Amino acid sequence: MKVVIVLAASIALCAGNEVLSVPGDNSHYIEGESRFIWMPDGDGVPLLVDLEESFDEELLNTRYGANNEYWLYTRKNPNISQLIVKGNANSAWNSNYASGRPLKVLVHGWQNNGNSSMNTLIKSAFLEEQDANVIVVDWHAFASSNYLTAAEGVPEIGEYLGNFLIWLINTAGGNWDNVHLVGFSLGAHVVGNAGRQVDGRAARVTGLDPAGPKWHGNSKALNKQSGQYVEAIHTDGGVFGILEPIAHADFYPNGGKNPQPGCCLMSTCSHSRAYELFASSVLNNSFKGRGCKDLDQAKSVKCNGSIFSMGNGIISKRGFGIFGLKTGSSYPFFFFYF
């Protein structure tokens, strides 16, 4: 992995004098203006990304969304997945999928895969908290491309996911009022597109630090039309994550920016903190946001409005507004003074 980092930096150094001033901590980065950014791979190792690099046109011209894999986990098979294949009814009928259970769908981000820590942590939390169908979407074949190509492909990945969910519910049963879509980073925009593909019928859609670079003002990003109730948890806003409110309810723990408590300024852990906080909230439902008048108040964590829970796995959750709160520095991240 270190070889990749050195190579990326070496190539960038040949691109012009601009990159010579890029520090390793992203202190230079301005959303929508900067060309270069260090972004974490699936192991949290930073890679230098050129936000003006070329798309992989050959890859974009394939039916790449058809490569999505859908891994089912239930309390009967919490650790070994069952593959459900769209168009193969037996793969659903012969699985542990049960139409009467809530359906939780998890989608990873760039340079991640179905076995990433985000999926493992949240899947385990959901199954401990409730008897549910948990489907992990593995789109690693496309997520492993360069960042701009992966971002460009997000809408199709989401559309294929939406069509899969329509097929699954029509084939094996289910209720849209029991569907909860959860996505991290680029995966947040995948579930946003999937939600719109199913006409916003999913009961709940959660974006965990939705990816920021190339998504500011993007009509294909996660938005309020993606589900009956859409929420976003912002933990690295303005760098890896999008900063502005985009959902029915937007949460800004510790100001919604880097560094989150327990994270150092140069690390990538603030971005990952979103899914860690969410997993904790599913098990404990202990994070209480306060309503904010505006984004500036949320960033300064000086909100004193009505209380609304951040995260949790409650499918009927509904709310609206901007919310700020403080959390602790280590799992389960409780902050006992409010």
Residue 300 neighbours by CB distance under 10 Å: 12
Contact (CB, 8 A) for 198 and 223 = no
**Beta carbons of 145 and 153 less than 8 angstroms apart:** yes
Structural contact between residues 190 and 157, judged by C-beta atoms closer than 8 angstroms: yes
Burial-class residue 198 by CB neighbours within 10 Å (0-12, 13-18, 19+): buried
- Whole-angstrom Cα distance, residue 180 to residue 171? 19
d(CA 108, CA 115): 9
- In whole angstroms, how far apart are CA 294 and each of 239, 290, 307? 20, 12, 15
Tokens of 26: 């992203």
- What is the gyration radius of the CA atoms in the chain, in angstroms? 19
Q: Is the peptide bond before 332 cis (omega within 30 degrees of 0)?
A: yes
Q: Where are the alpha helices (DSSP H) in 14-146?
A: 57-60, 89-93, 117-129, 140-143
Distance CA 5, CA 306 (A): 45
**Encoding tokens for residue 289?**
């946001």
Q: Strands 133-138, 288-291: parallel, antiparallel or unpaired by DSSP? A: unpaired
Active-site residue numbers? 185, 209, 271
Contacts of 33 (CB under 8 A, 6+ apart): none
Calpha distance 243→263 (Å, rounded): 18
DSSP-derived secondary structure letter, 286: -
Residue type, 271: H
Sign of CA dihedral 278, 280, 281, 283: positive
